[in-house]
């Protein structure tokens, strides 16, 4: 073995440079990509949910119109309660709200009494007009 002399060793080490600090932004890029991905997923979920709820409302409205069309007027009290309930659920725009405000007082006289008379033709005509307008708007 050959002894290592200090001068020879220092000349060999002179070419080795010290470590440099390299700025590392990969941590910020990583979390930035995760945040962007989460925001995209949330936006996608929002629009899909909004579309689903819009379709659900249309389907509910169709169901309410079918319930209104199937009301049996042989029991005026139950028919008045059902008509008021489903007509109120369908009264979403100005035209239907106006028609419902005209129909509701006519149905009130059949609701809160123990014995009620048969439904008059004016009430049935107003009800049929409301159902027709509600059916056309869906």
In a domain, 133, yes or no: yes
pLDDT for the residue 52: 87
Mean pLDDT on 24-35:
93
Number of domains composing the chain: 1
Q: Are 68 and 131 in contact (CB under 8 A)?
A: yes
Q: Which of 132, 68, 79, 69 is nearest to 109 (CA)?
A: 79
In a domain, 95, yes or no: yes
Distance, in Å, from the CA atom of 128 to the CA atom of 39, rounded to the nearest integer, reads 48
In a domain, 35, yes or no: no
In a domain, 125, yes or no: yes
Q: Are 100 and 127 in contact (CB under 8 A)?
A: no
In a domain, 85, yes or no: yes
pLDDT, tens digit, for every residue of 87-135? Answer: 999 999 999 999 999 999 999 999 988 888 999 999 999 999 999 999 9
In a domain, 61, yes or no: no
The parent domain of residue 103 ranges over 75-138
Q: What is the token pair recorded at 2?
A: 């050959």
pLDDT for the residue 73: 92
In a domain, 51, yes or no: no
In a domain, 110, yes or no: yes
Distance, in Å, from the CA atom of 133 to the CA atom of 95, rounded to the nearest integer, reads 8
pLDDT for the residue 42: 98
Mean pLDDT on 59-71:
92
Question: Please, which pLDDT band fits residue 1 given cuts at 50, 70 and 90?
Answer: low
Mean pLDDT on 68-85:
94
């Amino acid at each position: 073995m050959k002894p290592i002399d200090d001068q020879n060793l220092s000349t060999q080490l002179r070419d080795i440079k010290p470590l440099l600090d390299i700025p590392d932004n990969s941590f910020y890029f990583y979390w930035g990509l995760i945040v962007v991905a989460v925001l995209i997923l949330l936006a996608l979920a929002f629009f899909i949910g909004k579309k689903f709820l819009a379709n659900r409302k249309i389907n509910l409205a169709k169901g309410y119109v079918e319930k209104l069309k199937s009301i049996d007027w042989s029991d005026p009290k139950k028919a008045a309660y059902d008509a008021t309930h489903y007509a109120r659920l369908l009264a979403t725009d100005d035209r239907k709200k106006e028609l419902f405000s005209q129909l509701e007082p006519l149905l009130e006289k059949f609701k809160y009494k123990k014995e009620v008379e048969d439904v008059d033709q004016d009430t049935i005509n107003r009800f049929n007009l409301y159902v027709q307008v509600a059916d056309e708007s869906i």
